[in-house]
Amino acid sequence: MGRSPLPLRGARPSWRRLLAVGPVLLLCAVAALQVSLAATQSLSPWKGGGFGMFSTIDSPHGRVLRIYLVRGDQATPIAAPDMLRSLVQAARTIPTEDRLRALAVRLAQGTWVPLEVESAPARYSSLVAEEGADRAPAGAGRYALAGLLRMLGEHESAAPDAVAFDAVRVELWKTRFDADTAELHLWKYLDLTAMAPRGAEEARP
């Protein structure tokens, strides 16, 4: 006897009915949750399965994160590294205090150094030199970008030129568009500060 083509034949009608509308119920449940999270936790209507895309300017892309390394009364703007993009995406999509704190703490745990670019020949020369006895001339083909900082990756060794800081401040700004004047306004929705762990404060006296 072959496989029954109708596995639910014989099952109770209530189960069949429930299964038949399962995907529809799932859509409604997720959409209801999305509406609730949008109302209570500022989830962007564009995300979360509630079909609010193209309904508002308030998309994750339209939310701006401004992040600063704070040292005394000085605040240096930094860009979150690509390795933290999932935290950044979460903070922009559903910017709760917990999510901003998670991002701020992770940034505060990092080592920040001046951003340098290196030409491809210089990079190749330095790799060749690492294998042999010769050392490439320090700094040849490397250019520091004034005022810009980057966070070291997990596998990069500590740098002597690490920047000292006391804390990291993360600000989430939302946008509002005035159709009469065609002006785009930012307004601060939330900001949060995470203290630097001991060491970052003393990286540079």
Partner 1 sequence: MTNKSESPRWRQLQLCPTFDRCAVMTLLLLLLYSSKVWYVHIPVTALCVSAFVFRGPRRRPEFWFAVGAATLLGTYHDRFSADNHKYLLGYWCLALFCALLDGDPRRNLARTARLLIGLSFLFAAGWKALSADFLDGAFFHHALLSDERFAGLARTIGGLSDADQRFNRAAMEALASHDSTLEIVALRSTPAVAELATFLTWWTIAIEAAIAAAFLWPAKNEGRRVGDALLIAFVLSTYAVAPVLGFGWLLVIMGVAQSPARPGFVPLLYVLCFVVLQLYRLPWTAFVGEG
Closest to partner 1 by CB, 17 or 135: 17
- Residues near partner 1, by CB under 8 A: 2, 4-9, 16, 19-24, 26-28, 30-31, 45, 47-58, 60, 64-67, 77-80, 86, 89-90, 92-94, 147, 173, 175-179, 181-187
Closest to partner 1 by CB, 21 or 158: 21
Closest approach of partner 1 to the CB of residue 175, in Å: 8
Inter-helix orientation angle 97-108/85-93, to 10°: 150
Closest approach of partner 1 to the CB of residue 49, in Å: 4
Closest to partner 1 by CB, 63 or 125: 63
Closest to partner 1 by CB, 93 or 125: 93
Instruction: Check: CB of residue 171 under 8 Å from CB of residue 67.
Output: yes
DSSP 61-98: GG-EEEEEEEETTEEEEE---GGGHHHHHHHHHS--HH
Closest approach of partner 1 to the CB of residue 51, in Å: 4
Closest approach of partner 1 to the CB of residue 139, in Å: 25
Closest approach of partner 1 to the CB of residue 165, in Å: 16
How many angstroms separate the CA atoms of 204 and 190, rounded? 30
Closest to partner 1 by CB, 60 or 141: 60
Q: CB-based contacts of 88: which residues, under 8 Å, 6+ apart?
A: 65, 80, 103
What residues pair up with 78 in beta bridges, in sequence order? 67
DSSP 158-200: P-TTPPP-SEEEEEEEEEEEETTTTEEEEEEEEEEEEEPPTTT
